[in-house]
Amino acid sequence: MALIALPDAQQFVLDRCAVLPPVGRAPGEALGCVIAQDCVATEPMPPFANTAMDGYAVRAVDVAGASPDTPVHLQVIDTVLAGAPSSRRVGAEQAVRIMTGAPMPVGADAVVMVERTNAVDEKTVEIFDAAPVGQHVRGVGEDIDPGDVVVTKGLPMTPARVGVLAEMGLESVSVHPRPRVGVVSTGDELVAGGGRLKPGQIRDSNRPALLALARASGFEPVDLGLVADDESAIADAIERGAAECDAMLTSGGVSMGDVDLVKVVLGKLADMRWMQIAIRPAKPFAFGVVDRSGSSAGVPVFGLPGNPVSSLVSFELLARPALRQMAGHAQLHRPQIQAVTDEALTRRPDGKTHFARVRCAYESDGRYHVRSAGGQGSHQLAAMAAADGLAVLPDGVGAGVGERVDVMLLD
Ligand code: AMP
Ligand code: MG
């Protein structure tokens, strides 16, 4: 089978993963979801002029000549707290005691902070500073005007956006839902959890790792279980996934072995494309769309390789961008940086792009530095666990010490 270039495989997948239709959600329930509407203000913010300081609301004209040596004496006619407007009008040589956030009383046009005043008694205050009109006053609409697009369609929901939408009184906002991503592991040799391993057994690491990756990527993980190398068990898990999920990840059973039954089952359920991608790790990959009964949109299935490092790298390069597209993101890929190698990252020419597991640190010379995170075999999950980046090594002999490499940041 001819090797497919990674960008071609990625495009094939992206062309078949449609963005999920928007739903209404409370902003606080939609953290990380992509916002599907422009959020337009209907009210000004602040809604009324208020003070930015604790102090005295005054008429600028009355305190124009005030200084520490020549304080101005004003009559204090009221105290106003946040949430409780004053009914009094500030007239000539009068002031109102005012607390941060309280509405400016009618007649006053500036605030003198309390530190620049002295309360002589209940009714009299000395003002030590002049205050230009508008001093410490937050004007109506200084932050937001009615009609402003405050949050733009296509942006992800962040905590600050949750805040501003709450400020605007928006209780429901249209967002693309998190894709529900089903994960199934296959293999007779696999067991879940602790306990003593019998000869030939290993623990299922792909399912926990892929479920965690789905969650960490902002998707909703759905555990479809660990199934044996058995056609009907695999078919049951995939049919359950097709009914409950927006996309599915299988791991194992897609290479050229005798019991690669995921291949057999998916071949019956979907129009699958079996690929050998020109990358290392994660060369074998399968992709297809399974029909969902009662729906026009099918369920994309990503047949990831079984080797633990391969399955995670395959997720990163092929599944995650497509799932982000389904979630409505414009930015599909992990950020890439340029780094300098602190040790050689060697490889052999083989027609493939290699993704080396590296540790990456931003150093005082203003550059990112990388080192190998350990053994680079596709079964060596410890190095993947130690890594925070994948160095992209184009076909060739790799990078010597001090050379530049592109690194995809994993967190
Ligand atoms: P397969 O593609 O099913 O032949 O699996 C390739 C390799 O990955 C074999 O060594 C499997 O034991 C291993 N493997 C498959 N699935 C998992 C899994 N869920 N967790 C850990 N290792 C796995
Ligand atoms: Mg297997």
Q: How far is the CA of 230 from the centre of ligand 1 (A)?
A: 15
Q: Given this model, what pLDDT does residue 285 score?
A: 94
- 405 has pLDDT over 80: yes
Tell me how far apart the terminal alpha carbons of the chain are, to the nearest angstrom: 34
Q: What mean pLDDT is predicted for residues 326-342?
A: 98
Q: What mean pLDDT is predicted for residues 4-17?
A: 98
User: Closest ligand to 255 CA?
Assistant: 1
Write the burial class of residue 324 (CB in 10 Å: 0-12 exposed, 13-18 middle, 19+ buried): buried
- Asked whether 252 lines ligand 1 (CB < 6 A), one says yes
Query: What is the distance between the alpha carbons of residues 114 and 263, in angstroms, rounded to a whole number?
Result: 76
User: Closest ligand to 311 CA?
Assistant: 1
In this structure, of 19-23, 94-98, 187-191, 254-258, the range with the lowest mean pLDDT score is 254-258
Q: Given this model, what pLDDT does residue 183 score?
A: 98
Q: Given this model, what pLDDT does residue 296 score?
A: 76
User: Closest ligand to 380 CA?
Assistant: 1
- Residues 6 or more apart whose Cβ sits within 8 Å of residue 256: none
Residue whose C-alpha is closest to residue 204's, from 221, 222, 220, 183: 183
**Structure confidence at residue 80 as a pLDDT band (50, 70, 90):** very high
**Structure confidence at residue 7 as a pLDDT band (50, 70, 90):** very high
* Amino acid occupying residue 360: C
Q: Is the peptide bond before 68 cis (omega within 30 degrees of 0)?
A: no
Q: How far is the CA of 190 from the centre of ligand 1 (A)?
A: 8
- 258 has pLDDT over 90: no
Place of tokens 């696999």: 190
Nearest atom in ligand 1 to the alpha carbon of residue 226 is 19
Q: Is the peptide bond before 7 cis (omega within 30 degrees of 0)?
A: no
- 353 has pLDDT over 80: yes
pLDDT tens, 87-101? 999 999 999 999 999
- Asked whether 305 lines ligand 1 (CB < 6 A), one says yes
- Asked whether 204 lines ligand 1 (CB < 6 A), one says yes
**Structure confidence at residue 109 as a pLDDT band (50, 70, 90):** very high
Q: Given this model, what pLDDT does residue 295 score?
A: 77
Q: Given this model, what pLDDT does residue 253 score?
A: 85
pLDDT tens, 147-172? 999 999 999 999 999 999 999 999 99
pLDDT tens, 22-56? 999 999 999 999 999 999 999 999 999 999 999 99
- 294 has pLDDT over 90: no
Q: What mean pLDDT is predicted for residues 1-20?
A: 97
Write the burial class of residue 335 (CB in 10 Å: 0-12 exposed, 13-18 middle, 19+ buried): exposed
Q: What mean pLDDT is predicted for residues 283-307?
A: 91
Q: Given this model, what pLDDT does residue 256 score?
A: 72
Tell me the pLDDT of the chain averaged across its residues: 96
pLDDT tens, 196-223? 999 999 999 999 999 999 999 999 999 9
Q: How far is the CA of 386 from the centre of ligand 1 (A)?
A: 20
Most distant CA pair in the chain, distance:
97
